[in-house]
Structure 1
Amino acid sequence: MTASMLGGLSTASDDRKNLLLGMRTGEIGMVHSWELVTAVDGPGTRMTTFLTGCPLRCLYCHNPDTLKMRDGKPVRAEDLLARIRRYRNVFKATGGGITLSGGEVLMQPAFARRILEGAKEMGIHTCLDTSGNLGVNASDELLASVDLVLLDVKSGLPETYKKVTGQELEPTLVFGRRLSELGIETWIRFVLVPGLTDADENIRPIVEYAASLSTVTRVEVLPFHQMGRDKWAELGIPYQLGDVSPPSNERTEEVRDMFRAAGLTTY
């Protein structure tokens, strides 16, 4: 296979037979992009890698260009790990590490496992940013190389979750409980969308759920924004939330206080 470049990463050509074999073994993953960020996708400065492919169709998705697996570029695990190695000193100095995001990272569990294990061998902090919808794809061996999970809980009510994502809520709840049983640190993330997810009756079950998990150390209530809107237009995908404004600062703090009242550290 020949190679091209993705943000400084060598990418494998899309010879279909070799590509599928490489993806099955985890030697190759479909990657949209990567970036260095601070205090966004986990602690410290992090190299966040966005994999492509996602089973959810969230109405407010700000990365709709990562939904389809084929929209990524094939990247060799060894090349991504070589890139990660270059930032070891940055991670050490800032208490950072790597975060695998998407899309949905657990659509590519073999590739994710290779990257996570390789990073751990280098002594680098590892994080998964996931909806948990495909938690069944995460083997205990994969999770053994995970230091932190950012678990996106889109809704506390099954019917609202279905409306927001097109999928069921239960797999996310099951995965979160499994993380707790395994002792894996978890941050709960919840996007507050006016008129969609902001009702108290939708939020209370998330508060109760987060408080029930022994490994939840942080909750992030994220105000809805329109920053991904242009991507939907570029892709020609109908966007249903064009008339929705961000929640007020007052309402956002009210919701955060609901979590704080349950003893949860919340931002």
Structure 2
Amino acid sequence: MNNLEVPGRLHSWDVSTGVDGPGTRFVAFLSGCPLRCLYCQNPDTWRMRDGTATTAGAVLDTARGFAAFARTTGGGMTVSGGEPLLQPAFTRALFAGAKELGLHTALDTSGALGARAGEDLLDLTDLVLLDIKSWDPAHYRRLTGGEVRPTLDFARRLAARGTPVWVRYVLVPGVTDDPGDVDGVAGFAAGLGNVERVDVLPFHRLGAAKYDRLGIPFPLRDTAPPDRDLVDRVRDRFRDAGLVAY
């Protein structure tokens, strides 16, 4: 099977600037995710079977229309989710096609399934947007339903390869704002040597309507977004560790 024929399940696609990697990006959102994060804004991506059956070639045909502009802006293709490493062969095929289009590639992942990323996939990956959701194992489990160790192992593997990483940290008041937890993530990230920046992402409730449509309770419906002072304080803790933080 050639790369263009590799099947996958696609939730949606979009074109974005400044949030999914450098420049203007064609972003493919794949279906399926093993985690159930309390603050997830896209519960409609959880189940792979809810996505649209497609092929890498069909997605790349769509991306081709934006490729010239993406190259001009220093952008490229980002594969996100859901969790793209639930579909590693499909993700690899998309990146192989993106490279043929001359596009920079970025993998947006929790790292929970990092062991599924083969060396052939990582060889095609220019940047990893890595969500480190918590440092404390027990807290990570309560927050996501998963284990933090696979994410940390994947981060160390990326560091050993020298793959550039942007760490993402979702800031939820009363949930992920504990200074010890933040400092744990910051110290770990600073010690890797390949983390180019940290994006502190303020929690929001824009996905609440999706939960309503799906008939799923939104656990953080009554949680307010962080105020500017809290966001600045958390960014400063990452900066104090020697990291560039936004």
Whether the TM-score (by the shorter chain) exceeds 0.5 is yes
SS of equivalent to 1:87: helix
Match of 1:190 in 2: 169
Structure 1 unmatched ranges of 5 or more: 1-21
- Measured after TM superposition, the shift of residue 122 of structure 1 is 2.1
- Mapped contact 1:26–1:112 kept (Cα < 8 A): no
Please give the residue correspondences for 1:83-162 in structure 2 after superposition, counting only pairs within 5 Å: 83-162=62-141
| 1:209 counterpart letter in structure 2 | F
Structure 2 CA distance for aligned equivalents of residues 26 and 208 of structure 1: 43
Instruction: After superposing the two structures, state which structure 1 stretch, 128-137 or 74-83, moved more.
Output: 74-83
SS of equivalent to 2:115: helix
- Measured after TM superposition, the shift of residue 173 of structure 1 is 0.3
Match of 1:248 in 2: 227
1:180 to 143, 150, 159: 159
Match of 2:33 in 1: 54
SS of equivalent to 2:29: strand
2:206 to 209, 217, 227: 227
Q: What is the count of residue pairs matched by the alignment?
A: 244
- Mapped contact 1:207–1:259 kept (Cα < 8 A): yes
- Mapped contact 2:5–2:57 kept (Cα < 8 A): no
The answer as to 2:9 corresponding to 1:30 is yes
The answer as to 2:237 corresponding to 1:237 is no
Q: TM-score, normalised by structure 2?
A: 0.97
SS of equivalent to 1:243: coil
Structure 2 unmatched ranges of 5 or more: none
Identity among equivalent pairs (%): 52
- Mapped contact 1:156–1:206 kept (Cα < 8 A): yes
- Mapped contact 2:13–2:26 kept (Cα < 8 A): yes
Structure 2 CA distance for aligned equivalents of residues 142 and 216 of structure 1: 19
The answer as to 2:51 corresponding to 1:75 is no
Match of 1:15 in 2: none
Segments of 4+ in structure 1 off by > 4 A?
none
- Measured after TM superposition, the shift of residue 48 of structure 1 is 0.6
- Mapped contact 2:197–2:245 kept (Cα < 8 A): yes
Structure 1 CA distance for aligned equivalents of residues 136 and 32 of structure 2: 25
- Measured after TM superposition, the shift of residue 26 of structure 1 is 6.7
What do the CA deviations read for 1:205-231 (whole angstroms, capped 9, x no partner)?
100111011110010011111011111
Q: TM-score, normalised by structure 1?
A: 0.89
The structure-2 alpha-carbon separation of the partners of 1:238 and 1:95, relative to structure 1 and needing over 3 Å to count, comes to same
The structure-2 alpha-carbon separation of the partners of 1:261 and 1:26, relative to structure 1 and needing over 3 Å to count, comes to farther
Match of 1:41 in 2: 20
What do the CA deviations read for 1:25-56 (whole angstroms, capped 9, x no partner)?
97111001000011110111101110000000
- Measured after TM superposition, the shift of residue 121 of structure 1 is 2.1
- Measured after TM superposition, the shift of residue 167 of structure 1 is 0.3
2:143 to 159, 164, 176: 164
